[in-house]
Structure 1
Amino acid sequence: MREYLKFYIDGRWVDPVTPKTLPVINPANERVAGHISAGEKADVNMAVDAARRAFETFCRTSRGERLDLLQRILGEYQKRLGDIAEAITEEMGAPTSLAQRAQAPIGMAHLEAGIQILQNFKFEEERDGTRIVKEPIGVCGMITPWNWPIFQIACKVVPALATGCTMVLKPSEEAPFSAYIWTEILDAAGVPAGVFNLVNGTGAEVGAAIASHPGVDMVSFTGSTRAGIEVAKVAAATVKRVTQELGGKSPNIILEDADFPTAVAGCVRRVMQNSGQSCSAPTRMLVPSTRIAETVMIAKESAESIVVGDPKSNATIGPVVNEAQWEKIQWLIKAGIDEGATLVTGGLGRPRGLDAGYYVKPTVFAHVQNDMTIAREEIFGPVVSILGYQSVDEAVRIANDTEYGLAAYVSGTDMGTLGEVASRLRAGQVLINGADDLAAPFGGYKMSGNGRESGEYGFHEYLETKAVIGFTPQRAAE
């Protein structure tokens, strides 16, 4: 049983102002795995005050000092890699193999990328007598989700530290264990007091307090579009910067000349990974109408090869995160059936033999129309929808016919066509033939959010731009 009842404020582990605890449920067995304290506005006030004091000195640290800090954090992270993987499996149900192969290592990858980018990042440049300066924005509020918990913490904290910002983090109350280990890592690495602060709690209490706080200069939020809208509303009164990585309903256009066995099976696997709990998953598979039967056969075989079970077994996927998410997925699967989509495999209820835990059957629907609920709403579960198209123009139209625009996928062999289709898709990332790039900017169009994370583009979200006009190095030297 994990008991994480203190917050990390001003370089110390402190008790909450008002003692109140929240249980953390292991989604694999529905049992209480531990407890955290639920913070409130007073806890956030203390954390923000500490961050503001620390900013006065941390914003003036040199590139070399911040590189040394990130290197120390990386060293401590490597020591705790196994602990982080174990915590992620326990808190949100990621299979041990996924936690060890992807969930935990991705935090290390962001640290390594941040170090590399910081080495050569341009904070200043001269333009015809004007100096353009990039300066740290100030105190940053960070609200992170449960589906890729360390990924989302690292891709916010690393660029903030690299650019000289201070911060207050509220991790998801559904998956807080890995965030505590992350905090222990930063403490062991010697992050100066007040630079990084952790306050646990709910979005309604702690998240709202961070977003509305006048001492917070920017908020970086990852989560649902509904919650992102609320964060933007409460942040608006203080005119702070708000970056949001929100929901998605990503299309995957499989062109006529694609390698169908590879493209279809790859799409299914990508959706099912992490139990479907990835905002950029290619949940709408668009294929030529003449090849739906072939697609259905491949997708069915691929989905039915996926083993659902205890995350500590050899299962391919584990449970979804909680009962509310399980119920939502069941409702959406039922909506697909009721609205006339063809259920290819999977469906309602738990997989056979799994009577406890929030497990969902890997599900594939065919003959889906883009106005159906399962094609419009983000399911956030292991559910693939197959849609047909008559022409590439129609495929692009269907792909863009969504309120979201986080990611899009295209599969084929002719690079000219692939590039032309990619240029017409309204999404923050377009992935061709399953390619990926951790350093590429990640973020969305439309209701998938604003701002970008990862790589060099992630640094810019934590910087203000100042123009110093009439200044030249020669005059300064004189």
Structure 2
Amino acid sequence: MIDARKFFIGGKWVDPINGTDRHVIDSATEDPIATISLGGSADADAAVAAAKSAFPSWSVSTREERLGLLEEILAIYRRRRSELADAVTNEMGAPTDLSNGLHTALGEIHIEAFIEVLKNFDFGHALRPDRRRDHILYEPIGVCALITPWNWPLNQMLLKVLPAMATGCTSVLKPSEEAPLSALIIAEIFDEAGVPAGVFNLVNGDGAGVGNCLTAHPDVDLVSFTGSTRAGVAITKNAADTVKRVSLELGGKGANIIFADAVENAVKAGARRCFNNSGQTCIAPTRMLVERSRYDQAVKEATEVAESLSVDLPQKSGAHIGPVVNASQFDRIQNYIDIGIQEGANLTAGGPGRPDGHNRGYFVKPTVFADCTTDMTIVKEEIFGPVLTMMPFDTEEDAIAFANDTPFGLANYIQTSDGVRANRVARALRSGMVEINNEVRAPGSPFGGYKQSGNGREGGTWGFEEFLEVKSVTGWFSDEV
């Protein structure tokens, strides 16, 4: 069993002040694999104090100093990618090929992208050519509390920690207590890279403990949170008394609109995308809307994908899906499957219970519900598991209305060969991201949503701006910053 109780505060690995032991569970076996400590208010206070102490010097560090640090972090990250992949597989059940592939690749891509942003980011400029003594400065906001989820741990940590560091902020990271092992390796990488003491700090804990302390803390200037909409609402309320900035990346219920002229593999690709990472992805295309002339065939194709997709141990190589992260997530998904059946959706694949051959572990069958309606619970609420819902539509207007009929607005998808229609529908969809014909976003693209999917953006220049204050100066004497 791994002993991972220590926190990283002020450039040192330290024992908890008032910690409580908690096991990290292998979701495939239900056995404990590590012990962490859930910190308390004293631990959160110590981490914030270290970040606050480091801010005056780090906030005035040069672009070259920060670039050198990020480049060193990138080199060490590449060297330790296999360790990070093993941690992700063990802590949240991602199959090893997925962990060694997309999970760790995304982290490397983010580091590379933020290095490029930092090289060219304009931290100060004249208001306009005829008002050169009116100057606009972009300055680090201060101490940042970064609270990250378990489903894509590396992706979400690096989307927050790196722009905070690159813009001159200091931070306290609270990773998910479900998947903390990869975060500890990230802290080791930062330590080895020479991140100055207090610029980055890590405290493990749960939302009710360390999370609440950080979000309400008077010395925290910004909270960046990724997780459920319910938790995002609670964090916003908790932060309100100190009027700090709160950036939220929350839930989603992505619609995948498949027109009759979509490419032949559009349905199968959409179903596989829904089931990827065991469905534990906020941007998963979980609502498949198919033009009626193609709908019956689409149901057959999606069902075939679900029935052909194996579910197996995450430590095995292959294209299978692994377990979901924990018992409560398993129970939540099973409850939604039961509700779908009770509400009259047509179950064409999967269903309740574990897949054959798995009598323990949090394994869920890839599940397809056809002939759904917009008033069904499984269509309205985020399930966060390998469950696809399908509906037919008759007109473009119907498809847009169905897609927008949700409190969420994170990512939507369009499949069509008609470029004019694709662009028109993309403009009409109320979401922060739209993907046409499975063309993935480029590194440095903004990530975030509308409505109850959150506010703010991560990635690229938009990710930098989240961590910066805007200062207007009149009477500026020089064009140099």
Partner residue of 1:170 out of 174, 180, 191: 174
Structure 1 gaps of 5+ residues are: none
Cα pair 2:8 2:202 within 8 Å, conserved? yes
CA contact (8 A) 2:407 2:451 kept: yes
Q: In the alignment, which residue of structure 1 is the partner of 2:146?
A: 142
Residue 342 of structure 2: which of 324, 338, 341 is its match?
A: 338
- In 1: Cα distance, 2:189 partner to 2:409 partner: 35
Q: What does residue 195 of structure 1 align with? A: 199
Out of 362, 382, 386, which is 2:366 matched to? 362
Deviation of residue 289 (structure 1)? Answer: 2.2
| TM-score under structure 2 length normalisation | 0.97
Task: Choose from 460, 465, 468 the match for 2:465.
Answer: 460
The counterpart of 1:256, out of the listed 249, 254, 260, is: 260
SS of corresponding position for 1:473: coil
Aligned runs of 1:10-409 on 2, under 5 Å?
10-127=10-127, 128=131, 129-259=133-263, 261-313=264-316, 314-409=318-413
What residue number does 1:451 align with? 456
CA distance in 2, matches of 1:41, 1:169: 14
Local SS of the residue matching 2:409: coil
Q: How far does the alpha carbon of each residue in 1:150-188 deviate from its partner, in whole angstroms, 9 at most, with x for none?
A: 100000011111101000000000000000000000000
Q: Which runs of 5+ in 2 are unaligned?
A: none
The CA distance in 1 between the partners of 2:254 and 2:439, in whole Å, is 15
Query: RMSD of the alignment, in Å?
Result: 1.1
Return the offset for 1:25. Answer: 0.5
- The 3-state SS of whatever aligns with 1:104 is helix
Return the alpha-carbon distance in structure 1 between the equivalents of residues 319 and 257 of structure 2: 29
Match of 1:9 in 2: 9
Q: Tell me if structure 1 keeps the 8 A contact 2:114–2:444.
A: no
Is residue 6–residue 13 contact of structure 1 (8 Å, CA) maintained in 2? yes
3-state SS of 1:237 partner = helix
Which amino acid letter does the alignment assign opposite residue 197 of structure 2? Answer: A
Shift of 1:470: 1.9
Q: How many angstroms does 1:385 deviate by?
A: 0.5
Q: What residue identity is the alignment partner of 1:171?
A: P
- Matched to 2:203, the amino acid is V
> SS at the partner of 2:251?
coil
Match of 2:288, SS state, is strand
Q: 2:447 aligns with which of 435, 442, 460?
A: 442
Q: Distance in 1 between matches of 2:137 and 2:20?
A: 45
Q: Distance in 2 between matches of 1:457 and 1:401?
A: 27
Task: State the Cα distance separating 1:124 from its structure 2 match.
Answer: 0.7
Matches within 5 A, 1:405-416: 405-416=409-420
Distance change (3 Å), C-alpha of 1:451 and 1:19: closer
SS, match of residue 64 in structure 1: helix
Which one-letter code corresponds to 1:9 in the other structure? I
> 1:204 corresponds to which letter in structure 2?
A
Secondary structure of the residue aligned to 1:191 is: coil
Mapped partners of 1:157, 1:375: distance in 2: 34
Following superposition, the deviation at residue 453 of structure 1 comes to 0.3
**SS of residue matched to 1:207:** helix
Contact kept, 8 Å, 1:405 with 1:445, in 2: the verdict is yes
Q: Is the Cα–Cα contact under 8 Å of residues 308 and 315 in structure 1 kept in the other structure? A: no
Distance 2:83 2:208 in 1: 30
- Counterpart CA distance in 2 for 1:190 and 1:374 is 48
Cα offsets for 1:348-393 (capped at 9, x unmatched)? 0000001111000000110000110100110000010001111100
Check whether the contact 1:452–1:458 (CA below 8 A) recurs between aligned residues. Answer: yes
Q: Distance in 2 between matches of 1:412 and 1:349?
A: 36
Distance 1:100 1:345 in 2: 29
Give the Cα separation in 2 of the matches to 1:328 and 1:252.
Answer: 23
Runs (4+) of structure 1 moved beyond 6 Å?
none
Q: Percent sequence identity over matched residues?
A: 52
| Residues paired across the two proteins, number | 475
